[in-house]
Structure 1
């Protein structure tokens, strides 16, 4: 059993939550309603993992050279309304083996933190739909609206580390996007691990030089136990 890993910080959508890309499909719809024709792959490539207003700004700048902040704000407002509506009928499920992994980490006395580029109300609504309870499935939720710096800045990880008195070198970050991997590295995490169940392809994940790429959450346990 690992004696040096004391916390795992998990991304939500695509990593621990299977929501069939509802957020990015809604983001694509809101942006394209403003007169664009971006594909879902483009939205995922540039926006995955980011705080969602920042994702909109990045997508507009990268693919259209548009830096109009007022336009981005209007799209974000439209997106927020549409996302609330989408979640009312969405079918959300835990990613395969999420519950078993959370339980195994608890048995090892390893803190389980969920972090996300969503706002706190959106993230909490997902957790409520899944009926996850703080102290049972997870130990803390940290969202983009809880800190000043969004991914790839390390603020969310460092916020969680400070709460539990954990050093960054005792933390593993797991996520399904390039920006998750960069966030873990910027925090000084022991390991920054990509998972192939979400936004980015294995090739895209590899471009961020993760310490490992896994295909299933349970593959994390032997990595922890060897560390």
Structure 2
């Protein structure tokens, strides 16, 4: 069967948002006289929502829930005004999206970033391409919980096995597997290919255009 839809993760998959996220959190840390972190370190903080990132970035001596909540609000205030300052689509994404549109492939975004920020970035960088765009509204629904992905499939009018789920992390691959979607990992994001494979990737991509053949054939070669 040919796939009829695709759900994309946002950060590390469609867009490189590492610097904007890192810069915002480092401003918060610096203002509180806490140690800051490198972009390379933040790569491993991203993926489980911004509150989780804040917790990982804070020193262990200042990591209680109340302080995490306080710093999370500071980070959101800083990041909201600068979330597309350096953030850009990865090379090849624009061409991939144009191909998918030409083939009438249904496209959605599902991210662990807050719903408001997910919608803002998608609207600013990819106006009109994705429907629905879903971010985090409730911690319990965060990936790898498949509930939102399954709900997206219903809104797209597709069976879950007709959808490719594309992401850059093990959490994304787990989400795809839990939702009974075809898990595709991208190697240009924030996590190594090994993490994607161990967590259930059936295919890995080195460039965005490597996704195209999956929509052109009834048979798909998967990782063993």
Is TM more than 0.5 here?
A: yes
Alpha-carbon distance, 1:32 to partner: 6.8
Aligned equivalents of 1:106 and 1:127: distance in 2? Answer: 16
1:20-59 to 2 correspondences below 5 Å: 20-27=18-25, 29-30=27-28, 35-36=34-35, 38-45=37-44, 47-57=45-55, 59=56
**Residue pair 1:14, 1:21 contacting (<8 A) in 2 also:** no
Deviation at 1:122, TM superposition (A): 1.3
Match of 1:141 in 2: 133
Secondary structure of the structure 2 residue equivalent to 1:194? strand
**In structure 2, the residue corresponding to 1:87 is in which secondary structure?**
coil
Whether 1:127 and 2:126 are equivalent positions in the alignment is: no
Q: TM-score, normalised by structure 2?
A: 0.82
Question: Please, what TM-score do these two structures have when normalized by structure 1?
Answer: 0.81
Q: How far apart are residue 66 of structure 1 and its match?
A: 7.5
* Structure 2 gap segments, 5+ residues each: none
1:151/1:180 contact within 8 Å kept: yes
1:68-88 alpha-carbon deviations (Å, 9 max, x no partner): 211211121111011023337
CA contact (8 A) 1:48 1:179 kept: no
Which of residues 195, 199, 214 in structure 2 aligns to 1:208?
Answer: 199
Does the Cα contact within 8 Å between 1:147 and 1:156 map onto a contact in 2?
Answer: no
Match of 2:83 in 1: 87
Query: Structure 1 CA distance, aligned partners of 2:199 and 2:99?
Result: 28
Alignment deviations for residues 152-183 of structure 1 (CA, whole Å, 9 cap, x no partner): 11122112112122221111111112211111
CA distance in 2, matches of 1:211, 1:65: 41
* Structure 1 gaps, min length 5: none
SS where residue 117 of structure 1 aligns?
A: strand
Match in the other structure for 1:116: 111
In the TM superposition, what whole-angstrom CA distance separates every residue of 1:92-141 from its partner, at most 9, and x where no partner exists? Answer: 332222222122222323211112122222123223332x223xx22321
- The answer as to 2:12 corresponding to 1:14 is yes
- Cα distance in 1 for partners of 2:159, 2:76 equals 35
List aligned pairs for 1:90-105, cutoff 5 A.
90-105=85-100
What SS does the corresponding residue of 2:74 show, helix, strand or coil? helix
Q: Tell me, what secondary structure is at the counterpart of 1:53? A: helix
Cα distance between partner residues in 2 of 1:162 and 1:48: 28
Which ranges of 4 or more aligned residues in structure 1 deviate by more than 6 Å?
Answer: none
Aligned partner of residue 75 in structure 1, secondary structure: helix
